[in-house]
Structure 1
Amino acid sequence: MTTTSAPDSGQRFGRIVDRQPLGSGPHRVTATYLVRDDESGEIHGFDYSDIVTEGFRTIIIGERVRFEVDPPTGRAHFVIRLDLPEVDEFYR
């Protein structure tokens, strides 16, 4: 899902609002995530390959992120998680 207007490039902040499973990828669990821009309210889609992190790339609905928008496509990219869970809490 992409927006209809041409978004500004640069750093944006938002929250993850949805995850839409696609059933593809090596384990059939690849998904498209949707982030709502805090400033504009626009929603931008992205997938796990756009998440900037070491190790397991996943995001939880409601989590805060920082991202950039690709102007030609309106998709989010360079998505950085801001609410990283404590390691002990994540594996309970």
Structure 2
Amino acid sequence: MPTLTAVVGSADGLHARPAGLIADAADELDADVTIGLPGDEPVDAASALLIMTLGAGKGDTVEVTGDDEAAVAAIAALVEKDLDA
């Protein structure tokens, strides 16, 4: 299963706005993708509420895993952007 690490780029971490944008993008993909802090249980990337429960802040490293390499890369790229801008 493809896995990429990504550094959270949003200034306030994965709060409501970035989590919502990531979840919307993941929901549109034809793949299952999860996001998690290293060593913790990953959550469904298509759920903004679950993403927010991670408590990931700016600069934190998360692992993005899924069953499709392109989908994993797309979600990892979103995590690294400043989605508050």
Which structure has the larger Rg over C-alpha atoms? 1
TM-score (norm. length: structure 1): 0.32
TM-score (norm. length: structure 2): 0.34
**Structure with a larger share of its residues in helix:** 2
